[in-house]
Amino acid sequence: MPQKVRIALDAMGGDIGASVVIPGAAISLSRHPDTEFLLFGDRALIDAELAKHPAMKAVSRVIHTDVAVSGHDKPSQALRRGRKTSSMWLAIEAIKKGEADVAVSAGNTGALMAMARFCLRMLPGIERPAIAGIWPTARGDSVILDVGATIGGDAQHLKALAVMGSAMASVLFDLERPTVGLLNIGTEEIKGREEIREAAELLRKLDLPQMKFIGFVEGDGIGQGAADVIVTEGFSGNISIKVAEGTARQISEFLRAALARTWRARIGYLFAKIAFKALRDKLDPNKSNGGVFLGLNGVVVKSHGGTDAEGFAYAVDVGYEMVHYDLLTKINQMLNRDGSALSPAPAAQEAVS
Amino acid sequence: MPQKVRIALDAMGGDIGASVVIPGAAISLSRHPDTEFLLFGDRALIDAELAKHPAMKAVSRVIHTDVAVSGHDKPSQALRRGRKTSSMWLAIEAIKKGEADVAVSAGNTGALMAMARFCLRMLPGIERPAIAGIWPTARGDSVILDVGATIGGDAQHLKALAVMGSAMASVLFDLERPTVGLLNIGTEEIKGREEIREAAELLRKLDLPQMKFIGFVEGDGIGQGAADVIVTEGFSGNISIKVAEGTARQISEFLRAALARTWRARIGYLFAKIAFKALRDKLDPNKSNGGVFLGLNGVVVKSHGGTDAEGFAYAVDVGYEMVHYDLLTKINQMLNRDGSALSPAPAAQEAVS
């Protein structure tokens, strides 16, 4: 673990850019004073923000570029236009050069993943990257992966997700042996997809001291906190997390409208304000901001593009935790225990085209 | 449309059986007096319940059997043990014999589907059955299918789901041209699965007057009511609906706990009671009770096994609506417009083994 956690920020990423990124990082810095920042982007914009945040300015180095990846760029376009030059690329490359321990960007997910894969390459033993999300549950938080890096995947892929997700959960939630469940459905005689049943077999055999496989979890089990880590391929993972976000938003809006409808309800709201604040905090999407790219030689955190400074701060926090508790070493240890945790197929590493 | 809607009930299905099924049907009867019932199950239990519900008794015929499919029977077991004899089978068979227009059961989904396929067979042009669910959204209700009848499926399957789902939405929600969206994810350069993009092409070409294809919908769009009909294969459909149910339950429980925590919050609750009742009604899983089996020569409705009489009544209501507004004719019309709405593959019909 380095003395200080060195975080590279794509200061041009997201819907707003520097004026969210820098205040956000400043909030995170106040929680983790042992942080240093590399800020990639338009120096004029960055300096203007740093002037308002002297503590942040004191621990930051600015590297100027005026090339920014747009939210609408396709991954291939972003690579073509922004490789070696864009704030996003440079933030990632700082990891490769050993100048930063983690990169955080609110830029577009596809471009960020393509650049991260291209620049950092996959970990030995991992064939495909994943994005891990944080899911607020009735028992605390769970990690869910993959929420959309790749679609589909065989049993080996699901096993790799389980290993990486457990490492992340142990780091984030300070757990010695996180529980791991495979997302599945339970209405068919032959339950769920073939590859999921195979993955269950593999995970039962794996028996690592750093994770505890508990079997299948259905869609309604995620929010109950049935497992610390929920493993699924990227299509259903993405659908799941978006359905949950959508449902939470829908209920909040309905409740807000219902509480404003009559004077009695409005009075009730005033009395129960603290309860509603607790609910709002609980449902605050900012708090689960920070998708972690796993499977690469380096940690990259993706913040929501539309987040505010508070939300961006959570994504920076996630990056901090990953480095501070040494996620990559943990993953590598789990992958290489007896050299047999995963049996990588001999296939060549995929390059983003 | 028949003079009266004739509903066959599996009076032994569900966690409780006759003492939920008959009071539930009685509630539905009070809403739809033009209903007649065939009740399959243990005559002693059924008669005891009918004695408490004279209006129900007046329009019911009881067919005795003491064979019941258990909630734990695998579909193949259920077929082996309960074919031709169980209350579940007999209720379905009543449709085939022309004695009933629809069957409703709270028995186990796998067994019910297996028996329904075996007994009723698939509609011409449809290769695989689907289960359609009702999703309460910010704009009203939407139909989502498939929520777990079969896993996976090609573009033709998704197209068939779109046609059947639109017919159901037009019947249930009284819409002339329901909007249809394909569930997809939006984080990849090549968005989503191959078959989903193909299905989008097919649906764009189809251009039926009874449905309006609006493109892809992401997970958080379902609850916003982005489309009247959400089309997806059974794995992600099942995950989606269960995630939404789980999230709603989780939020309700959290809110209940928060409102009981302090005296101020408890007072607030008293004032805002009506608002909370509205929320509870909105989230009431009973109101979306009733999974509709589509693609068969007959309509079968599956109620949740653990529901109460109120919830079972909703499932009976759904069955009533399907018949009253002639779902099957609508589906057939859409399938056979110019004989080209669907191009069935020449494959033989699958039989449940």
ipTM for the complex? 0.87
The residue with greater pLDDT, A272 or B246, is: B246
Q: Is the predicted pLDDT of residue B284 greater than 90, yes or no? A: no
- Quick one: what percent of chain B has pLDDT higher than 70? 92
> CA-CA distance, A296 to A274, in Å (whole number)?
42
For range B189-196, the mean pLDDT: 74
Condensed to tens digits (0 to 9), the pLDDT of residues B289-334 reads 789 999 999 999 999 888 899 999 999 999 999 999 888 888 888 8
Give the residue from A139, A187, A259 with the most B CB atoms within 10 Å of its CB, the best one to mutate. Answer: A187
Picking from A188, A193, A242, the nearest residue to B219 by CB comes out as A242
Helix, strand, or coil here: A225? coil
A130-290 is classed CATH 3.40.718.10 = yes
Q: Which CATH number fits domain B127-292: 3.40.50.2300, 3.40.718.10, 3.30.70.360, 3.40.50.300?
A: 3.40.718.10
A34 pLDDT higher than 50:
yes
**DSSP letter string, B126-175:** --S-EEEEEEEETTEEEEEE-SSSSS---HHHHHHHHHHHHHHHHHHHT-
Tokens of A218: 């259905």
* Domain with residues B1-125+295-326, CATH architecture: 3-Layer(aba) Sandwich (3.40)
pLDDT at B286 over 80: no
pLDDT score, position B175? 93
pLDDT band at B143 (very low <50, low <70, confident <90, very high): very high
pTM value is 0.89
Query: Looking at the predicted structure, is the pLDDT value of residue B75 above 70?
Result: yes
Mutation to test the B interface, candidates A76, A115, A196, A235, most B Cβ within 10 Å: A235
Q: How confident is the model at residue B190 (pLDDT cuts 50, 70, 90)?
A: low
Which residue from A219, A244, A271 is facing B271, i.e. has the nearest CB?
A271
Which chain A residues have a beta carbon less than 8 Å from that of B130?
none
Q: Which residues pair with B143 in a beta bridge?
A: B134, B229
Alpha-carbon radius of gyration of chain B: 21
Determine the Cα–Cα distance for residues A244 and B329; give it in Å rounded to an integer.
36
Region for A300 from its dihedrals, namely left if φ exceeds 0, alpha if ψ lies in -120 to 50, beta otherwise: beta
Q: Would an 8 Å CB–CB cutoff place B256 in contact with chain A?
A: no
Predicted confidence band of residue B44 (pLDDT cuts 50, 70, 90): very high
Q: Which B residues in the span 26-45 are in contact with A, Cβ-Cβ below 8 Å?
A: none
Of B220, B246, B269, nearest to A242 by CB-CB distance is B220
Tell if the CB–CB gap between B275 and A258 is shorter than 8 Å.
yes
Cα–Cα distance for residue pair B301/B292, rounded to 1 Å: 5
Mean residue pLDDT of chain A comes to: 88
Does the distance separating the beta carbons of A244 and B239 come in below 8 Å?
A: no
Q: Choose the most confident range, by mean pLDDT, from A248-257, B30-39, B290-299.
A: B30-39
Residue A350 pLDDT exceeds 50: no
A313-317, B281-285, B346-350: least confidently modelled range: B346-350
Tell me what pLDDT residue B343 has: 54
Q: Does B236 touch chain A (CB under 8 A)?
A: yes
Q: CA-to-CA distance for A297 and B262, rounded, in angstroms?
A: 49
Q: Between β-strands A60-64 and A291-294, what pairing exists: parallel, antiparallel or unpaired?
A: unpaired
Got the DSSP string for B176-217?
A: SS-EEEEE---SSSS-S-HHHHHHHHHHHHH--TT-EEEEEE
CB contact under 8 A, B272 and A274: no
Considering A241-245, A265-269, B273-277, the range whose residues carry the highest mean pLDDT is A241-245
A1-126+295-353 domain in CATH 3.40.50.10950? Answer: yes
Q: DSSP letter for A60, please.
A: E
Backbone phi and psi for residue A143, each to the nearest 5 degrees, phi listed first: -95, 135
Work out the angle at residue A76's Cα, subtended by the Cα atoms of residues A72 and A79, and round it to the nearest 5 degrees.
95
**Phi and psi dihedrals of A51, rounded to 5?**
-60, -30
Nearest-Cα residue of chain B relative to residue A73: B189
pLDDT grade for A175, boundaries at 50, 70 and 90: very high
Q: Is the pLDDT of residue A345 over 60?
A: no
Query: Do B1-125+295-326 and B127-292 agree at the fold level?
Result: yes
- Cβ neighbors of A321 (< 8 A, separation 6 or more) are A171, A172
Q: What is the total residue count of chain A?
A: 353
CB distance B91 to B38 below 8 Å: yes
- On average, the pLDDT of chain B sits at 88
Joined tokens for residue A170: 């142990």
Taking CB atoms and an 8 Å cutoff, what residues of chain A touch B197?
A: none
Among chain B residues, the shortest Cα distance to A271 is held by B268
**pLDDT value at B95 more than 90:** yes
Q: Is there a contact between B300 and B11 (Cβ–Cβ < 8 Å)?
A: no
Gap from B345 CA to chain A (nearest CA, Å): 23
A&B contacts, CB < 8 Å? 219
Looking at residue A343, its pLDDT comes to 54
A206-210, A264-268, B284-288, B322-326, range with the lowest pLDDT: B284-288
Q: Is the pLDDT of residue A198 over 80?
A: yes
Residue from B74, B112, B135, B188 to probe the interface with A (highest A Cβ count within 10 Å): B188
Please, which residues bridge with residue A35 across strands? Answer: A5
Which member of B148, B236, B259 has the closest CB to residue A236?
Answer: B236
- Candidates A36, A76, A81; CA nearest to A56 is A36
Contact A283, B303 (CB under 8 A): no
Residues 193-212 of A with CB under 8 A from B: 193
Give me the residue from A234, A236, A250 closest to B239, CB to CB. A236
Selecting from B234, B245, B275 the residue whose C-beta is nearest the C-beta of A268 gives: B275
Q: What would the pLDDT profile of B222-248 be if each residue is shown by its tens digit?
A: 999 999 999 999 999 999 999 999 998
Is B118 near chain A, with CB under 8 Å?
no
Strand order in the sheet with A291-294: A60-64, A35-41, A5-10, A102-105, A299-302, A291-294, A130-137, A140-145, A229-231, A179-183, A212-217
Domain ranges of chain B: 1-125+295-326, 127-292
Task: Determine contact, residues A334/A166, Cβ cutoff 8 Å.
Answer: yes
For A116-154, write each residue's pLDDT tens digit. 999 999 998 898 999 999 998 888 899 999 998 999 999
Residue B142 pLDDT more than 90? yes
Structural contact between residues A258 and B257, judged by C-beta atoms closer than 8 angstroms: no
**Minimal Cβ distance to A278: which of B110, B243, B258:** B258
pLDDT of residue B155: 95
Residue A97 pLDDT > 90: yes
Tens-place pLDDT, residues B152-180: 999 999 999 999 999 999 999 999 999 99
Closest-CA residue to B240 (of A220, A151, A291, A225): A220
Q: Give which of B108, B109, B191, B239 to mutate to test A binding, by max A Cβ within 10 Å.
A: B239
Query: Using an 8 Å Cβ cutoff, are B24 and B11 in contact?
Result: no
CB contact under 8 A, B243 and A223: yes
